[in-house]
Amino acid sequence: MKARRHGLILSIIKEQPIQTQEELGEALKAEGVEVTQATLSRDIKELGLIKVPTPNGEYRYSLPLDRNFSDLLKRAERIFEHAVISIDHTENLIVIKTSSGTAHAVAAALDDLDWKEVVGTIAGDDSILVIVRKKQQVEQVLERLYKLRR
């Protein structure tokens, strides 16, 4: 549930100019997820969200641009531990199965790691397609994915 909620929060703040925790809570509620203010506050802290100025002089939630790799890796490990069910591959494609509703959060965490071997990810509700540049690099990427899973 937490990984799904985190994924929704990231998706919402990328698509909408969310200025307050109340607005974020309402946006989550519209997606069928009700949270308390305390939970939302914890989620904002765990995701490392910050408020940035908008062109009209207001502020909105955003991900910081200067997140360090260690923070990104910890976030990916946490999401993988709670959401990833299985990992499989063929040729230069890797399929990651997740619990329902968490694929976007997992894919976003992978994208943030910016691995040079990975061209990109495509996420559905409970599956992610990871496209690896060369099939010779798949084993290396799989090894890192399994480490994230612990």
Chain segment 48-70, per-residue pLDDT in tens: 888 888 888 889 998 876 566 77
- Does the pTM surpass 0.75? The reply is no
All structural domains of the chain, each given as residue ranges with its CATH number in brackets, are 2-62 (1.10.10.10), 69-149 (3.30.1360.40)
Chain segment 92-101, per-residue pLDDT in tens: 999 999 999 8
Most confident of 9-23, 107-121, 132-146: 132-146
Determine contact, residues 89/138, Cβ cutoff 8 Å: yes
Coil, strand, or helix at residue 82? helix
Q: What is the pLDDT of residue 10?
A: 86
Mean pLDDT for the chain overall: 90
Tokens of 86: 């299985």
Determine contact, residues 112/76, Cβ cutoff 8 Å: yes
Task: Name the residue among 67, 72, 58, 65 with its Cα closest to residue 23.
Answer: 58
Coil, strand, or helix at residue 67? coil
